[in-house]
Amino acid sequence: MEFLGVLLIVPINPYLEEELDRRFKLFRLWESPPGRRREFLQANAPSIQAVVGSTAAGADAEIIDLLPRLEIVANFGVGIDKVDLPRCRERGIRVVYTPDVVTDDTADLAIGLAIAAMRRICDADRYVRAGSWKGEGDYKLTSKFSGKTVGILGLGRIGLAVAKRAEGFGCPICYCSRSEKPNTNYKYYPSALELAANCQVLVVSCPLTEETQHIINQEVIEALGPKGVLVNIGRGPLVDEPQLVSALLNGRLGAAGLDVFEREPHVPKELFKLENVVLVPHIGTDTLETTKAMSDLILGNLEAHKLNKPLLTPLF
């Protein structure tokens, strides 16, 4: 049987790369000389039927147009904003991704970021390491997470998992989604602004689209207020970053826990000095267990496609 030619856009993890290389004919895009990506794609286009990308870089219009034999795009993650979906549909290219297996890790991190930001865990850690506990006495009082009203923007798989975890801390739950969800007793608000005005911790977990870009704007941040906490586990551009930075610097927002940023890996330096902000480098799904499960889903989908069997996790 002819090997499936697979283009890997960026390095993802050694296990996935090794298995792709073992099972398929693998092309590594980053091995193309600087400034010669187009030539690399054109030279190898006759042999490439599949593309594997990530939340950092995926199958954009240029890649799709340069690969006339492309049949399937596999996205390592649930965020698909790096894939040109209209172009894929137009060409009849299948798209698969890795839902479900990422849910627990991302939801765990959301709760962890909220607690770390409110209890100032990272700053308290620095306080101990600097010898300040011995020299200056006890650390200052902080704010509890338990019992706070948690608003969730985007009540999909991850949003629901965040809600269930927050309920374990005695937190009332409210949410905003494109439409009201059946079979839930959580309070629904039709806009991000109304949600922010009625919660104390706002967790952003909706997909990034043209409609949701900067959905967390100055008005929403003002509604959350100087005692409010913003947690972003979705995508960086969901939040108007300059407005967020300004609100944190002048106390118009109480705290933030951020896993994602507008221009990753660039993070506003103004945030580095703030004790009420927790910053992590887009690690929502980065555990050994989940990375392995995501890789196996990618491999399983590509194997199914090669054998003309039903795809495991098709987006379409």
What are the residue numbers of the active site?
A: 235, 264, 282
Q: Torsion angle, CA of 235/231/277/76, rounded to 10 degrees?
A: -40
How far, in whole angstroms, is CA 51 from its chain's centroid? 20
Query: How far apart are alpha carbons 186 and 291 in whole angstroms?
Result: 31
Whether the bond between 182 and the residue before it is cis, its omega within 30 degrees of 0, is no
Q: Reduce the DSSP state of residue 166 to 3 states and report it.
A: helix
Strands 277-279 and 94-96: unpaired
Q: Is-contact 64 41, C-beta < 8 A? A: no
Query: How far apart are alpha carbons 13 and 286 in whole angstroms?
Result: 10
Q: Reduce the DSSP state of residue 205 to 3 states and report it.
A: coil
By the 10 Å C-beta count (0-12 exposed, 13-18 middle, 19+ buried), 170 is classed as exposed
Query: Residue 243 corresponds to which amino acid?
Result: Q
Q: Is the dihedral of CA 84, 87, 88, 89 positive or negative?
A: positive
Site of tokens 């902080």: 142
